[in-house]
Structure 1
């Protein structure tokens, strides 16, 4: 059977890293590099989150709106990805991969009476990764390359002295390195891939009760490690999964003026690193149809979350199906995500709001061609 078809279904199902820890979106997978022959793919994903919280009590300077509901503060968003892979010779191949690895879309509705009403935040990124892979004669291979990535961000936080910030688009360069082992007769592959952090000096325009200012803000998107595997466990059946670690505890966005008006706070930061786990099973039903199911888990770390990202861990279930015709494969998938409960603060070690019973639905389509 063609295990690659099931692996594609698994990939789309697990592609809803779209609502994982921090501002992780794509998961930075390099699966296209392992495709056979010359291959191209395009993918589109849509995520509809429902994230709302309630102001904590009793009323005080730290909890200004006890009992007020925030309303849904996360906008729906789309993601796009593409990849091209080709062989240079029997041992050497390359791939070019485009993704949108990190992102955030926050918009607290107005008219709710909630302290953060009218607050907005946006973070966008685009990455182009060029990879080379060398196959060794013992079923091992090594891969590595360069990632060029751009970021831009903005925020408007009325409850913090009318604070607003705009970060210009900036470009940084990092690297990717990894190793893989394959046993084709049982459709087994295990790959380990490291992605480096990428540094930026973002030109930042701020405005608040202190007046306007323009400075440079140092930002580093985090380093990460992806462990991905697949193996045949029975005729026409594949087990697959992975673990992703991201160094979110080292990620900080701290514009100069924001630190003053917030009395030493950061616009965006995380206390803990994040591990995201996925495990799934795929099955070929016929020469044209394959299906897959995948579960995902991300541990809740506790502590306070940012008012611009009030989530803590998640659990998910995804389903996908692949239709194959000649050299084309079309995969569609849907995933339900149960977002972990979180508490936010405005300082002083007291809870400002609690976010509970939130969820998201992600859908996606991927089209792949072998030629």
Structure 2
């Protein structure tokens, strides 16, 4: 029995994710690439994490995270009946950490990182079932880190500035579709992006270049109709943080930040009530790492959350909104392999809106 085709974007709540340490932010999704015809969308999300705890001197760290916003834009058009093109702009990675002066061990420690990326993607359809896609990404990044407090001993007061840098990357993928049951499975690999930052340091040589690789990743996205006007959807995202290391020339030890690999699972269901209204509910889970000790600059470990979304369609415009609540895993910020604080009972709230136009 054939089921009604339901576009996945009808049920996609605006991304309000926070991956490893809150650094993996956009998820690098490609939803617009699979929209029918010419299509454009603009999305905005506001994310408010709460990450706080007590250091081993029994003093509060304060809420070390700041509210941040996420902007994204996509444009897609069909070159012909087999070839299509999409342009994506997003903010894939970021950090905004500040420990309060109330903590004698970590107070004044700062991490600030901003990125944005522009990606051009081509998709070629062999037939109604199989297609391949690939493209090039240009990514800009910059950052600032300061280490402060007794936990850093002689390195307290260290500061490093990474000047803005553009660097290239790429993505490749394959998809299988069966439109009569709204089935689509898409697998996408995104490469590392290697930045070469002009670096200014306190205590150590300035005017040097610091190489930093943002991680390679694999996204598996799927959807399928399970009943009339009802869609099951989900994703698995694996991010390889093993080569993500911030280690300026002259800095002692193993560098400033190291993270464990992450795998994030999402599963949800969407329901279209009529030609105008639809809603969705999804759950997200990211297991904790193998080591409870984490970098003070990425002070969470694992997460699980829930998102509710709704959309309204009128003529050629679709407005979607979502609210996400996430529980962030407990973690112990460390220096020199010794836990310096306990971050517990931490959460994240995100809201977002997306407007799409088909024309």
TM-score above 0.5? yes
* Aligned equivalent of 1:81, options 72, 75, 99: 72
Helix, strand or coil at the partner of 1:16: coil
The reply on whether 1:193 has 2:192 as its aligned counterpart is no
* Aligned equivalent of 2:344, options 328, 348, 356: 356
CA distance in 2, matches of 1:180, 1:205: 44
Q: Report Cα offsets for 1:263-298 as digits up to 9, x if no partner.
A: x0311111x210000000000112111000000000
Partner of 1:223: 216
* Aligned equivalent of 2:281, options 293, 307, 319: 293
Partner of 1:343: 332
With structure 1 as the length reference, what TM-score do the two structures score? Answer: 0.91
Partner of 1:168: 163
Contact kept, 8 Å, 2:24 with 2:94, in 1: the verdict is yes
Contact kept, 8 Å, 2:128 with 2:178, in 1: the verdict is no
Shift of 1:138: 5.6
Q: Report Cα offsets for 1:231-276 as digits up to 9, x if no partner.
A: 000011000001000001221011124x23xxx0311111x21000
Shift of 1:352: 1.1
Contact kept, 8 Å, 1:237 with 1:282, in 2: the verdict is yes
Partner of 1:309: 298
Q: Report Cα offsets for 1:75-123 as digits up to 9, x if no partner.
A: 000010000000011000000000000000112222x134211222111
How many correspondences in the alignment?
A: 349
Contact kept, 8 Å, 2:247 with 2:255, in 1: the verdict is yes
* Aligned equivalent of 2:114, options 105, 124, 128: 124
CA distance in 1, matches of 2:10, 2:312: 10
* Aligned equivalent of 1:251, options 244, 252, 256: 244
With structure 2 as the length reference, what TM-score do the two structures score? Answer: 0.94
CA distance in 1, matches of 2:62, 2:195: 34
Moved over 6 A (4+): none
Helix, strand or coil at the partner of 1:3: coil
Q: Pairwise mapping of residues 266-285 of structure 1 onto structure 2 (< 5 A)?
A: 266-270=255-259, 272-285=260-273
Helix, strand or coil at the partner of 2:12: helix
Partner of 1:26: 26
Partner of 1:68: 59
| Structure 2: gaps of 5 or more residues | 150-154
Aligned CA RMSD, in angstroms, stands at: 1.3
Shift of 1:2: 5.6
Partner of 1:11: 12
Partner of 2:152: none
Partner of 2:98: 107
| Structure 1: gaps of 5 or more residues | 57-65
Contact kept, 8 Å, 2:25 with 2:92, in 1: the verdict is yes
CA distance in 2, matches of 1:9, 1:120: 39
Contact kept, 8 Å, 2:117 with 2:137, in 1: the verdict is yes
CA distance in 2, matches of 1:114, 1:46: 31
CA distance in 2, matches of 1:292, 1:37: 24
Helix, strand or coil at the partner of 1:153: strand
Contact kept, 8 Å, 1:10 with 1:294, in 2: the verdict is no
CA distance in 2, matches of 1:207, 1:52: 28
CA distance in 2, matches of 1:301, 1:121: 21
Shift of 1:351: 1.7
Shift of 1:9: 4.6
CA distance in 1, matches of 2:99, 2:288: 23
Helix, strand or coil at the partner of 1:113: coil
Contact kept, 8 Å, 1:302 with 1:312, in 2: the verdict is no
Helix, strand or coil at the partner of 2:180: helix
